Amino acid sequence: TATVRHAGSSRFGDNHKWGTFPSVSLAWSLSDEAFMQGTSGWLNNLKLRAGYGVTGNQNGIEPYKSLAILSADGASYYDATTGTWKKSYVQAQNTNPDLKWESTAQLNIGLDFGLFGNRITGTIEGYYKRTNDLLWTVPLPKESGYTSSMTNVGVLDNKGIEFTLNTVNLNLRNFQWTSSFN
């Protein structure tokens, strides 16, 4: 299978409102191949699979975080034409036209197996996941005139191997006992 998602969001800066997120996966059922027929007495399933995909994230971003916003937090001034005191407006948030999608790319490679009438089944899977352009509210020095700015920072990597083993220990007419180990 293969897909491509092209998504846009008004939460991001003018330079990066759109993101493209592809994915692809494939599987090969080795146990269905002619060269594996000699194992059919004990091997019920042997499947090799792989997948790669990129996802985009906009969670946690409030609308307008990439735009300049005014606030009535400025000093008060006297309007002589109306005879009233008024609040002045100041820029409360700086612009970030380069605010963009946080993206996560993940690669999985796995092997599924079933043995002895599928009384023993399991999976061995390796994965590598990298998140780029993490969305983060960064505190700014008071001298800047702002308290913080939403921006893209850093990279985060996750990787590992996962193993799952399932067994049917007893399979009686009125009673079944199974175990699972991860």
pLDDT at 125: 97
Instruction: Considering only residues 141 and 43, tell me which one the structure prediction assigns the higher pLDDT.
Output: 43
Within 13 Å of residue 159, how many CA atoms lie on the same side as its CB?
5
What pTM was computed for the model? 0.76
For residue 49, give the nearest of 19, 67, 26 by alpha carbon: 26
Listed in sequence order, the residues at least 6 apart from 87 whose beta carbon sits closer than 8 Å to its beta carbon are: 72, 73, 74, 76
pLDDT at 93: 78
Span 25-78, pLDDT tens digits: 999 999 999 999 889 889 999 999 999 999 999 987 888 888 888 877 767 888
For residue 95, give the nearest of 67, 70, 64 by alpha carbon: 67
Report how far residue 143's alpha carbon sits from residue 66's, in angstroms, rounded to the nearest whole number: 20
pLDDT at 123: 97
Q: How high does pLDDT run on average in the chain?
A: 91
pLDDT at 3: 97
Total Cβ atoms within 10 A of residue 95: 15
User: What is the pLDDT confidence band of residue 116, given thresholds at 50, 70 and 90?
Assistant: very high
pLDDT at 113: 97
pLDDT at 30: 95
Span 167-180, pLDDT tens digits: 999 989 999 999 99
